[in-house]
Amino acid sequence: MRSIETPNMPKSNGHYSTVMEHNGILYISGQLPLDPISRLKPATFKEEVELVFKKLDLILNEAGSSKHKVLQMRIFLSDIELWPQMNELYAAFFENHKPARIVVPSPALHYGCSLEIEATAFV
């Protein structure tokens, strides 16, 4: 078991790793739509989703994987009414790949974000 951290990855703000790898499986901590430098969230939900997917793509690549090796996604949404828009952006991101997924309504997410996504993938 090992923690994976690279200079290009978003840094965790607490006592946890951005990515843990065990037996070829990557466990990626929940990613919020916060700019890594300004720590601000984008203005629109679409931009929030795109930023999280960009961060996940970077993390996966830095850890030696890719979005096509994602096994499962856990998506927390502050408003379940955002599901259709999130689903459309999700399908565009993954293309023909369809990881297992759960969407959890979560009334309050940190920093007022609309979503948080964690993932499990293989190397």
pLDDT for residue 9 is more than 80: no
Question: Rounded to whole angstroms, how far apart are CA atoms 26 and 120?
Answer: 6
Average pLDDT value for the chain: 94
Domain segments of the chain as ranges: 21-122
Give the whole-angstrom CA distance, residue 106 versus residue 92.
23
User: What's residue 91's pLDDT?
Assistant: 98
Instruction: Report the pLDDT value the prediction gives residue 107, as an integer from 0 to 100.
Output: 86
Strand 115-122 with 70-77, pairing: antiparallel
Judged by average pLDDT, the poorest of 21-30, 31-40, 52-61, 81-90 is 31-40
Span 66-121, pLDDT tens digits: 999 999 999 999 999 999 999 999 999 999 999 999 999 998 899 999 999 999 99
Torsion angles phi and psi, residue 91, rounded to 5: -60, -40
Domain 21-122's class? alpha beta
